[in-house]
Copies of this chain bind each other. A is one copy, B any other.
Amino acid sequence: MAKAVARPVPFTHVHLDDVFWAPKLKVNRERTLRAQYDQCQETGRIGAFELGWKPGDPNQPHIFWDSDVAKWIEAVAYSLADQPDADLERLVNEVAELVASAQQPDGYLNVHFTVAEPEKRWTNLRDWHELYCAGHLIEAAVAHHAATGNRVLLDALCRYADYIGTVFGTGEGQKRGYCGHEEIELALVKLAGATGEQRYLDLASYFVDERGQGDPHYFDVEAQARGEGVEALLHRHGGHSRYEYNQSHVPVREQSEAVGHAVRAMYLYSAMADLAGALGDDALKAACERLWADLTERKMYVTGGIGPSSRNEGFTSPFDLPNETAYAETCAAIGLVFWAQRLLQLDLDSRYADVMERALYNGTISGVSLDGERFFYVNPLASSGGHHRQSWFGCACCPPNLARMMASLAGYVASTTADGVALHLYAAGTIDADGRQLTVATEYPWDGTVTITVGTAGNWDLALRIPGWCRDWSVSVNGLPTEAEVTKGYAALRRDWMAGDQVTLNLAMPVALVEACPRVGDDLGRVAITRGPVVYCLEAEDNGIDPRLLALPAGAKFVTRWEPGMLGGVVVIDSVALAPRLDGWQGELYRPAGSTAWTQVPLRAIPYYAWDNRDAGAMAVWLPLH
């Protein structure tokens, strides 16, 4: 049975005051959330819910605008639950009430298809994001109610979900459809959890299991009903399989390869993991495990970025991981975190937490500037210097997605298990796991020493994740070295805890060069510099040269230094690199091998997530060995 073996300790029960996340959460709260409110206002996304738009007016509400506002509501709600803020609460309540006011008498709630194209409601599930927007509104409603106790949005979204439940399903007269952009599935699981209503879980199951069923395919049925040829989607997405693009090529239980649009895939797989746990559904869990292996063993950047291609915002062939043209959408890495956390509750296997950590410290937070107000949609692993964060996007899915992930970050730290508490991420702060209190002190990820003070006596397991990146670790209790059995990457300490007991985990955290599987052609003969969970990169700013030209000499030695004033406080890594002399190349592009002189130059690496926060310049993660 696939029933979950663990439950996340909710972020409301974890308080972070650490050196790494706490300042970022503060920036998120104080800068990002407000900046995004301004963007949603200025672009008309919030005002659109007044339903004042009329044909002929400028700035027609876009089909995915609702989701941007929804994610902002969700992010603010998480932030309020963690840290009250009267001003933000007033704002979010206003917006929530405005959103709810846009609900139609039959329960429908979607700005575009209410004011702009009402006759097209539910006529193109494949492309028009209606159920996707509904899903984000549901997530927002659940979060808003949990944070504020205000039911206005939750009640509205229950009505909407109930209406959706009348439209879609296998019953007489119902549409056997599902959304081209998955999202509503995981949202309905949340709604079931918030309301205790089984029918929302059933509807989530329907959407997940109906996907890829049916012959003819539902998306072709509705395309023909619109008078379109069935080739339409094939052309829209540049020759990619029209079904694989949105993971509807085969029923989900038969899927084994991560395909198509990466964000859609992550949201679907997250719902599959949710349902596997909620229903004890082994087949769904097995599908997740196959997809996980395909994704993390063949299709994931070292940063946790996924989906290399801009053509489909998604997956290509195994081991195709180009660096400079990497798409690696911020939302996709965030989606990977969502999925990893869910699988982790099913198994308590640290390989899920390893990937979650990889994405959290690298490929997700690279998406936001240190000042919290500029964002990457695309996260390449090398750059000529022309790729920069922007304050907003026409398709603005990533900024509020980052905001809600950051505001709920503390929720990824720990789980309650049958036998006690499991720690996944290490960050200074306090944890209340169903009454078991822990206080964590650490400078992680800059230092590998983690001290956990037990606040609640009793006989229970404290399971400590030993990160996959760590080759040398030890644990002591009250200063005495202790043996701990490691199961699926977690070192479990079971004892009669006394309040005040101190557990110290020492994770050796040297600079480590990593290599990719040789099948990754773009990284063959190259290494990436890492330390702990943090992947490093080289920027021209620090190295005085386009770092894409630099090579690492064999046996390079590395020196680390904590730089509190740099990039919000980072450990930098210094070493020497080899730089080719370019002055002999005038007039030539190809020469006999070995005719380039290489000179030693200083090398400085900074955390990848912090790149592009200073002067524009080239960047590289993978360096050739020379």
A residues sitting closer than 8 Å to B (CB atoms) are: 293, 296-298, 300, 302, 317, 322, 324, 382, 384, 471, 512-521, 524-528, 546, 548-549, 551, 580, 582, 585-596, 624-626
Contact = CB atoms under 8 A, between A and B. Distances in A.
Contacts of A527: 593
A589 B512 contact: no
Given A297-B588, A589-B297, A589-B298, A525 B551 contact: yes
A586 B596 CA distance: 38
Contacts of A588: 297, 517
A94 to B, nearest CB: 39
Contacts of A591: 514-515, 517
Most buried by B among A517, A582, A590, A624: A590
Contact of A595 (B296, B324, B515, B593): B515
A351 to B, nearest CB: 8
Given A297-B586, A514-B593, A515-B596, 12 more contacts: A302-B590, A322-B322, A471-B592, A514-B592, A517-B582, A517-B591, A519-B582, A519-B585, A520-B589, A525-B526, A525-B551, A525-B624
A517 to B, nearest CB: 5
Contacts of A300: 589
13 contacts: A293-B587, A297-B585, A297-B587, A302-B590, A513-B592, A513-B593, A514-B593, A515-B591, A517-B591, A518-B580, A518-B596, A519-B546, A593-B625
Nearest to A598: B518
Most buried by B among A317, A525, A528, A551: A525
Contacts of A516: 589-590
Nearest to A351: B587
Most buried by B among A382, A592, A596: A592
Contacts of A515: 590-596
Most buried by B among A297, A512, A582: A297
B589 A317 contact: no
Given A512-B592, A513-B592, A513-B593, A324 B521 contact: yes
Contacts of A293: 587
A625 B525 contact: yes
Contact of A624 (B384, B582, B624): B624
Given A518-B582, A525-B625, A624-B525, A296 B589 contact: yes
A548 B525 CA distance: 11
A590 B514 contact: yes
The 7 residue pairs across chains A and B that have the minimum distance between CB atoms: A525-B624, A513-B593, A518-B580, A515-B593, A527-B593, A517-B585, A521-B548
Nearest to A319: B589
A316 B297 CA distance: 32
A529 B171 CA distance: 66
A317 B593 CA distance: 24
Nearest to A526: B525
A8 to B, nearest CB: 25
Contacts of A302: 590
Contacts of A551: 524-525
A624 B549 CA distance: 15
Contacts of A548: 521, 524
Contacts of A521: 324, 382, 548-549
Contacts of A382: 521
Nearest to A581: B518
Nearest to A586: B297
A518 B549 contact: yes
Contacts of A296: 589
Nearest to A580: B518
B624 A589 contact: no
A591 B546 CA distance: 26
A384 B520 CA distance: 12
A516 to B, nearest CB: 6
Contact of A525 (B520, B525, B582, B586): B525
A296 B513 CA distance: 36
A252 to B, nearest CB: 23
A196 B139 CA distance: 79
A585 B526 CA distance: 16
A549 B546 CA distance: 27
A580 B514 CA distance: 15
Contacts of A471: 592
Contacts of A384: 317
A72 to B, nearest CB: 30
Nearest to A296: B589
Contacts of A592: 471, 512-515
A109 to B, nearest CB: 34
Contact of A549 (B512, B519, B595): B519
A511 to B, nearest CB: 11
Contacts of A549: 518-519, 521, 524
A329 B25 CA distance: 51
A519 B549 CA distance: 6
A590 to B, nearest CB: 5
A516 B587 CA distance: 12
A596 B520 CA distance: 13
Contacts of A590: 302, 514-517, 528
A306 to B, nearest CB: 11
A582 B514 CA distance: 16
A626 B525 contact: yes
A324 B205 CA distance: 42
